[in-house]
Chains A and B, each alone.
Chain A
Amino acid sequence: MSFRHLDRFAQVRSPVTRVPAAGRVFGTVVLALATATLPAGAWVQLGLLAAVSLALLAIAHVPLRVALARLAWPLGLVLLASLALLVVMPGEPLARLGPVAVTAQGADRFAMVMGRAMVALLPAVLLVSTTSFPELLQGLRELRVPVAVATALGLAYRLLYLTVDELERLQRAARSRHAGGGVTRRRHLITAIAAATLGRAFVRAERTHAAMLARGFRGTLPLLHAPVWTYRAVLNVAAVSILVLAVAASARLP
């Protein structure tokens, strides 16, 4: 996973991108929360929420292939994390793998976790596929993320590229001087590179701060773009949220 993916998002106009970024983040959080909190056994509701997410992906013109490719990596991590569930749960053994037994309870829980995880990842994929980093930042600020965090992220976006460029330059320089070397040597080298990058990050922070002060900075990044909330966008976000919450609530009815 490279940070450079941040700039490779499809910039296709669609009803989804006409909703301001804050609305997209809000919708994503609602969908993810509703999905992640479905009680065990709510397979119908899980299917309905998956349908909502897939429909939104289709409306946003995100090709299914792209969505699946973006799903694969995080889903792999979830799979690794939840494999242990199969065997640590006490219960009736279904199958034996050497010293451990896969239990019915374990399999049940594994299926539930994997199902929720997969469906909860869909809205996240929708968000990254429709929202650039600057837009996301704008949305977060409208949703009242602490000012310090918004400022840090706002500056970190540019600084990340500069920091990684510096890191790669230092690594190239180090490699050209020390070909090979043992593990200790390499560890020493990488530590030196990381520490040098850290030092330079602080120096850069000082210089950027001077440049900000020179242009009248007083502690808070000003917002340039006002969000454009159309009635239609408000209605769309509200409709999707209500639908999602209704599905989630239906899973908890007696």
Chain B
Amino acid sequence: MAHIPDGFLSMPVIAGTATASLAALATAARRSRAALGEREGPVLGAVTAFVFAAQMLNFPLGIGASAHLLGGALVAVLLGPWAGMLVLFAVLLVQALLFQDGGIAALGANTLNVAVLGVGSAGVTYRIGRAGLGETRGATVVAAGLAAWISTAIVGLAVAAELVLSGLVPLQPALLLVGGGHVLIGIAEAVLTGLLVDFVFRTRPALLARRTPAARGDRIRVVALAGAVVATVLVAVGFASSQPDVLETALARLASPVGSGLTAAPFAEYQSPVGGLWVAGAVGVLAAFLVAWGLTIAVQRRRP
């Protein structure tokens, strides 16, 4: 459920995410213009059309399942995060207004999740990956695949957080179902993005070469940023797992203004699965991460 329909989110969450999205899009518009100049219109138009078209293609995954590309990481790799955000926003806008795929009131939240956080995290991951692994074909493909997986997982976490903040579902099932679901979807996205980037690298490297190699200062900043993100996540996870009830009560209070009634007694009877949900979640995430990593490497090795 990458695109939240209307009816799921509370007023404060709708307002907050819309404000955050507006601010991010304003920055993206400025930065994308600076990067692409007067070519911006046609390039963004072509990539927007491609993302729409690519979402109609079903990639067979084997075992009877198939997946379609979401495209966040791909556009981040091709256009950079800022222009990529605008492309995904354009896609979301049309999906909400014309296809009823994602709610109109929830557009701000969906933009924040998919366009801003999804594309932004993919851009950061890709840069870290290339700064750390190098600029070879293998490094590029692995960095793109990782970016796709991490960004899909982050989209899932953001969706889960918004549902919880809306007082709709308790934290743990939201994380397990939505967040965990996206961790799995992310594997498919990582494979598809890796395959496509590999193909582009071999056939039209000019499309990727526009990214300037990371300067030394950039590298330090990127590593610092990555460190900060990881540290924040670890602290948050540690806090949440030690005192889940406190966090949930706080979130529920925050999310439900006076008199909503439904969230007044938050989730007291909810039972964690055996072994602790956080342990299970961490193991699942780690396993999925390793699988994604292995798959991207296997995919690019298999093709001389």
Contacts and interface: CB of A to CB of B under 8 A. Distances in A.
Contacts, number: 266
Interface stretch (B127-135, B196-204, B217-225, B282-290): B196-204
Interface residues of A, number: 93
B53 A164 contact: yes
B211 to A, nearest CB: 15
Taking chain A's interface residues, is the majority helix, strand, or loop, or is none over half, making it mixed?
Answer: helix
Contact of B41 (A29, A148, A162, A186): A148
Given A74-B5, A148-B44, A109 B168 contact: yes
Interface residues of B, number: 80
B99 A1 contact: yes
Nearest to B33: A148
A85 B86 contact: no
Interface stretch (B139-147, B239-247, B260-268): B260-268
Given A40-B262, A90-B270, A146-B26, A151 B50 contact: no
B87 A133 contact: no
A73 interface: yes
Contacts of A2: 56
A85 B89 CA distance: 28
Contacts of A73: 100
A54 interface: no
A245 interface: no
Contact of A198 (B42, B43, B50, B61): B50
Interface of A: 1-3, 6, 25, 28-29, 32-33, 35-37, 39-41, 70, 73-74, 77-78, 81-82, 84-85, 88-91, 105, 108-109, 112-118, 120-121, 123-125, 127-128, 133, 136, 140, 145-149, 151-156, 159-160, 162-164, 167, 183-184, 186-187, 190-199, 201-202, 204-206, 208-209, 212, 217-221, 254
28 contacts: A3-B56, A36-B7, A36-B103, A36-B106, A39-B259, A39-B260, A78-B5, A85-B168, A85-B169, A88-B174, A89-B169, A109-B168, A120-B6, A123-B104, A128-B97, A128-B98, A146-B29, A148-B33, A148-B83, A151-B41, A152-B41, A152-B86, A160-B49, A187-B59, A191-B199, A217-B41, A219-B41, A221-B41
